[in-house]
Amino acid sequence: MLFNSTRNKRNQVSSKKAILQGISDEGGLYVPESFPNAGSPSNMTEMKYKDLAYYICGKFLTDFTPEELSHCVSSAYNTDNFSTEFIAPLRKLNDRFILELFHGRTSAFKDMALCILPFFIESSLHSQKDYTDILIITATSGDTGKAALEGFKNVEHTKIAVFYPEKGVSDTQKLQMQTQEGENVFVLGVEGNFDDCQRAVKTTFADEEFSQLLKSNNTRLSSANSINIGRLIPQIVYYYNAYITMLKFGEISENEKINIVVPTGNFGNILAAYYAMQMGLPVNNLICASNDNNVLTDFINTGVYDSNRELVATPSPSMDILVSSNLERFLYHISGNDDELISALMGELRDKGKYRIPEDLKDKMPFLKAYYATEEEASNKILYSLINDQYLMDTHTAVANVCYDKYRMETQDNTKTIIASTASPYKFSDSMLKALKIETENMTEQEKIEKLSELTSVDIPKNLMNLDSKEKRFTTYVPKEEIFTYLNEFVKGDHDA
């Protein structure tokens, strides 16, 4: 299996090179040259999560030896990294199924892929006898940063730098990153939004002067964002695992189609569901759920992508994004691998902040539905779910549930539906308490977390306990124009990791 650049399909590389490189030389994203057929899920019902991960990832990562892939999978998907042996448990909630993706080391779905990416990179370097160091740079709207830091901390021959928007993450997310342990980590707050952080990462990959600096320090650049194909492929696994769980418990019959609802920001998680669909997972519709930053809702419904709008800070910060990077991959696939079209569209987005796709391209995504939920609607859903279903869902999951309600009301579709639950509610304790009509003024973050547990009797994840008492190592905030300066100093060793 080779991987093509979305902006030059003649640029073909192995999975190991795609993972190490992150972004192609043209600024495109790597995608598989074709989609392998995974076979019927009914043949996978005896597989445990790590067995399924080995099987699905192996369909794409064909240049990994069986021993390499087995090492990666067994090192990632175990009870040292996850608080449940099921890894991604499925919970039935009335007319829907909640796919809980937050039982990893940082209580967010990003753990599902970032627990294995360091091992992918390690195997790739070792097998290619590449003795350079790796610099991982990552933009985060909250969850990716901590998950990446935790995954790569103290990994030999690796440094990781994370940029987050000063006012675009929750207090708990901020504390998780500011108190990060590890000798090879660096965290920087940015006076801007997530799109500014993400733009800085992409610019870094294309900067020739920075590239020369890395070479002089025997270092190569990669990313832990979902622009890295090594992040995307492991996310396919949990959609298969959820379907298999429904099969085993008799909730669906063999080959019965399901819907999948995904709270969406950078389009990576829902793209993984699309990849699963292309591999043969029986899917009826994919439902893209957005918050007040509904650029994707508008795009899917009109064919016009327009990022020229004010970014709204919401209680679901991981979705506060106006430029969804992984949409580029999706458009490449449905356009029949039209790299020239993708290059033109991305050029328009860069220069004008918007683009319109051809009408015939819009007609190729009838399975992709889109809705958005306001802050008030999501807040009301949190309270309703706790009172009526005794289930505490985080702000992002609440957005997804509201959007599914709207889909059901509009379509009357009774297809069994999975909703991706992407984070622990304790990562957003202030917003959760406000949704439950509790005043939070003058409360510390730890007090909010404990109050939420007291009210709901839901266990606090161990990794979120006593964050207030940990040393804050990374408290610097810089204008977005100065990101490069600090990154240069980190590479040279002028900033303590």
Instruction: Assess whether pLDDT exceeds 80 at residue 493.
Output: no
Q: Which residues contact 75 (CB under 8 A, 6 or more apart)?
A: 116, 119
Token pair in block for residue 183: 């000798």
Q: What is the pLDDT of residue 485?
A: 87
Q: Which pLDDT tens digit goes with each residue over 32-80? A: 999 999 999 999 999 999 999 999 999 999 999 999 999 999 999 999 9
Rg (CA), the chain: 21
This prediction's pTM: 0.94
CA 193 to chain centroid, in Å, comes to: 17
**Tokens at 263, concatenated:** 């709270």
Q: Which domains does the chain have, with CATH numbers?
A: 90-108+230-467 (3.40.50.1100)
pLDDT given at position 466: 86
Residue 79 DSSP label = T
Q: What integer best gives the mean pLDDT of the chain? A: 94
Q: Is the pLDDT of residue 198 over 90?
A: no
Kindly state the tokens that stand for 374.
């306001």
DSSP state, 4? E
pLDDT tens digit sequence for 231-270? 999 999 999 999 999 999 999 999 999 999 999 999 999 9
Q: What is the pLDDT of residue 486?
A: 86
Sign for the CA dihedral angle at 175, 179, 185, 190 comes to positive
pLDDT band with cut points at 50, 70 and 90 for residue 13: very high
Question: Which residues are registered as beta bridge partners of 262?
Answer: 288
Between the alpha carbon of residue 76 and those of residues 111, 114, 119, 267, 444, the distances in Å are 9, 9, 8, 24, 33
pLDDT digits (tens, 9 = 90+) for 81-98: 999 999 999 999 999 999
Handedness of CA 61, 321, 196, 325 (dihedral sign): positive
Residue 450 φ/ψ, nearest 5 degrees:
-65, -35
Task: Supply the pLDDT for residue 141.
Answer: 82
Backbone angles phi, psi at 225, to 5 degrees: -70, 165
Is the separation of the CB atoms in 161 and 135 below 8 Å?
yes
Residue 168 has phi, psi (to 5 degrees) of -110, 15
State pLDDT tens for residues 439-450. Answer: 999 999 999 999
Q: 319-375, pLDDT tens digit by residue?
A: 999 999 999 999 999 999 999 999 999 999 999 999 999 999 999 999 999 999 999
- pLDDT recorded at residue 127: 79
- Tell how far CA 438 is from the center of its chain: 30
Query: pLDDT tens-digit profile of 103-138?
Result: 999 999 999 999 999 999 999 988 776 668 899 999
Sheet containing 30-32, strands listed edge to edge, beginning at the edge strand earlier in sequence: 8-13, 3-5, 30-32
201 pLDDT tier (thresholds 50, 70, 90):
confident
How far apart are the C-alpha atoms of 338 and 345, rounded to whole Å?
Answer: 11
How many H helices and E strands in the chain?
Answer: 20, 16
CB-based contact 144:117 (threshold 8 Å):
no
The closest alpha carbon to 190, from 214, 213, 161, belongs to 161
